[in-house]
Structure 1
Amino acid sequence: MKMQYLSVLIFAMVIVGSAEAAEVYHKDGNTLDLYGTFNGMRYIFSDDDKNGDRSFIRYGFRGEAMLSNELIGLGTWEQGAGLSYAESEGDNRTFTCLGFVGIKFGDAGSIDYGRNYGVLHDVNAWTDVMPEFGGNTTVTDNFFAGRANSMLTYRNTNFFGMVDGLNFALQYQGKNNSKTNDKKGCSLQKGNGNGYGLSVTYDLSNSVSAGAAVSSSNRTLFQQSLDLVHNQGKKTKAYSLGLKYDTYNVYLAALYHDTQNMTPFACFSSKNYGFAEKAHNLELVAQYQFNSGLRPSLGYIQSCIHGDQKGKRYDIKRYIELGASYKFNKNMSTFVDYRINLLSSNKLSCIAQKPANNIVALGINYMF
């Protein structure tokens, strides 16, 4: 890292902390809350294509409607937009993050349908707490790994009200497919067949929690056509195992995530791309919260695939995260995050199409 950035790093010490949503409506047990975050962020990177402004905004509504003493209707909608585009680039930079509606049945749990987080995220989210980097061994619209469409979700907390801290979720994802691939490969990369998932988390004593999640989905015919080395089968499978220790001052989390025919590799806008036959992902994070509002963060991320277009094994991600955030109050914070790459550029650039050099992210957040 160049010395000219040191003064900026020292100055720019964002915790993605919780902030109370703004209540828009509350009457007769019916509520509607507005929430969001404004993130002003810049990447400092040697590659001009990735160096520069990464600012964005996310905002949404959460609503509940009292249907009876035991039934509550619920709905969530969240949208995001990049803020670093010129007006001449059009208005197609907005995207829907979440959008689902359902009913909660008291201690019997809740059921909802729409665009939602996959059950693998219930465990994967434990390491996705670094100021900017980390939490990226999984991607959005990739079966049950992150946010995705056509999710039918049943959730139960405290196991029907009988076991405190024991939570589970069952999920079904309907088919999302396109017969044609767009110029960036999005229809291919983000498609899926019918699938099922399950997650279980348990809050043990002494601030320790353990979690596990599994999923299985059909692959689309288009995705199966990418099996250039040999037939990888009609299914994708994945599981996640997580452990965390969370007190006011100390946060420790570990995640092991394993996928089959699910993790995309290379660039989907090129001719050499596909889904790895197997992928093994490891994420570790440690943070400490000072009373002053300062929160240092140290993380390690590694993602290894087996079976690219040449049938070889590669580390597509391996880096150390070193950062810190400073929380002024529950609404305002600032951060610096330094990604120290551990991969050689010659292996990384041709296989993963990811940044091969170190990156610094600087930002400030306003949350409500």
Structure 2
Amino acid sequence: MYKKILAVAVATAVAGPAMALDVFDDGTNSLSIGGRIGVVAKSKDGDNTLNNDSARINFKFAHKFESGWTGVGVAEWGFRAKDEYTDIKNSVGKVIGSEKKDTFFNRLGYVGLNHDEIGAFTAGKNWSVTYDVSGWTDMYAIGGGNAMGIYEGRNGGDFDGSARADDTIQYRNSFGGLNVGVQYQMQDHSVTDARRDSGYGLSASYDLAIGLSVGATYSETRYEETTQYAGQDKSKSTTAGLKFENENLYLAAMYGEFRNKTELGDKLNAKSKGVELYGRLAMDNILQGFSLQAGYNELKDDSKTTADQTKATFKETMMGAIYETGPMQFAVEYAKDDSKNMDGKKEADNTLSLQARYYF
């Protein structure tokens, strides 16, 4: 059970040959180092770019106590394998220069105690309990995860408690096939116009022997009301889904309803609905390590008040392939974007992406 709890608590949201180097293990104390580095070449609207592929490095420490408890410490930083820059704009929105982004940035950092029967307790910055279920469809090799509100909110999913949640105390446990997660997020504020009072999240899923799992999540975050977010002092997220997996096939579907959580048309939507689908089929009989994948993400406004409504929608269909060999992963994804702007017109362009990634 301990391994199952730890696998959930340290979810990395990647398809691929995830690896880690066991640096030290004397049966009581252990240290492992893992991560990945990669690049993605993208072709969109005639532009060809080479981008970072969400590189990161992590350190995982553990100490086994005689009482049956295990103490854990996890630290993970993302880093930019190549320099990236952000635009600097003046008061009227004109770009007047650029600024280099930080090379390293925090992704995870928490301490905890685990017990085979009692469960796992952690405190710090960790993957949210919402992600324990909502992440079932966030399995694209390159893109995806755009319709379940995971990475969205006033200052992104970390601040909002749905991605790598900041300032959290969490509890997870498994009872046979039943998996549960509880999360409380403490007060904090950002450099922009937002201050979080508190937040909480709940998740539950059940694994059947045939490889089928069903699950649901609920989360709510409270904010101090500000001029920028007048009437939006609370965000809510409710998701439900299922997945099926065996040695060759992985299928997952998620449905979500959100309030003051997602963005369409450059505005925080009063209400919205999202759907995500993902499938991957291993083709080892043709080529060892080769698989085909497909996915679909759709998010639309569901606000009832005319003043809150927007015609903007996000709709994307993906087809691709993945090849894994040793510590390396190579992937291609073609994303057909049928999204619409606030006027209800299609302006998005399709994207072809090629990836090369090395796990360590």
Q: What corresponds to 1:366 in structure 2? A: 358
Change (3 A) 1:62 1:359: same
- Which AA in structure 2 matches 1:288? L
Aligned residues: 324
1:169 aligns with 2:169: no
Change (3 A) 1:56 1:244: closer
Give the SS at the match of 1:301.
strand
Give the superposition deviation at 1:287.
1.4
The TM-score with structure 1 as length reference comes to: 0.81
Residues in 2 aligned to 1:348 and 1:148: alpha-carbon distance in whole angstroms:
33
Residues in 1 aligned to 2:246 and 2:344: alpha-carbon distance in whole angstroms:
37
Whether contact under 8 Å (2:125, 2:167) holds in the other structure is yes
Q: Which of 73, 76, 79 matches 2:74?
A: 76
- Which AA in structure 1 matches 2:20? A
Whether contact under 8 Å (2:312, 2:342) holds in the other structure is no
Whether contact under 8 Å (2:134, 2:217) holds in the other structure is no
Q: Which structure's residues are more often helix, by fraction?
A: 1
RMSD: 2.5
Residues in 1 aligned to 2:121 and 2:351: alpha-carbon distance in whole angstroms:
41
Q: What corresponds to 2:237 in structure 1? A: 238
Give the superposition deviation at 1:226.
2.1
Give the SS at the match of 1:124.
helix
Change (3 A) 1:152 1:319: same
Give the SS at the match of 1:134.
coil
Q: Which of 226, 231, 242 matches 2:229?
A: 226
**Unaligned runs of at least 5 residues, structure 1:** 1-14, 182-186, 268-272
Change (3 A) 1:176 1:70: same
Residues in 2 aligned to 1:344 and 1:172: alpha-carbon distance in whole angstroms:
36
Whether contact under 8 Å (1:120, 1:214) holds in the other structure is yes
Q: What corresponds to 1:5 in structure 2? A: none
Q: What corresponds to 1:318 in structure 2? A: 315
Q: Which of 161, 166, 174 matches 1:144?
A: 161
Q: What corresponds to 2:279 in structure 1? A: 286
Q: Which structure's residues are more often strand, by fraction?
A: 2
Q: What corresponds to 1:328 in structure 2? A: 325
Give the superposition deviation at 1:246.
0.3
Q: Deviations over 1:205-224 (max 9, x none)?
A: 211011111112212323x6
Task: Within 5 Å, give how 1:108-119 maps onto structure 2.
Answer: 108-119=118-129
Whether contact under 8 Å (1:285, 1:299) holds in the other structure is yes
Residues in 2 aligned to 1:55 and 1:343: alpha-carbon distance in whole angstroms:
24
The TM-score with structure 2 as length reference comes to: 0.82
Residues in 1 aligned to 2:317 and 2:49: alpha-carbon distance in whole angstroms:
19
Change (3 A) 1:349 1:36: farther
Give the superposition deviation at 1:83.
2.4
Q: What corresponds to 2:249 in structure 1? A: 250
Q: Which of 210, 226, 229 matches 2:214?
A: 210
Whether contact under 8 Å (2:204, 2:215) holds in the other structure is yes
Residues in 1 aligned to 2:54 and 2:46: alpha-carbon distance in whole angstroms:
21
Give the superposition deviation at 1:195.
1.3
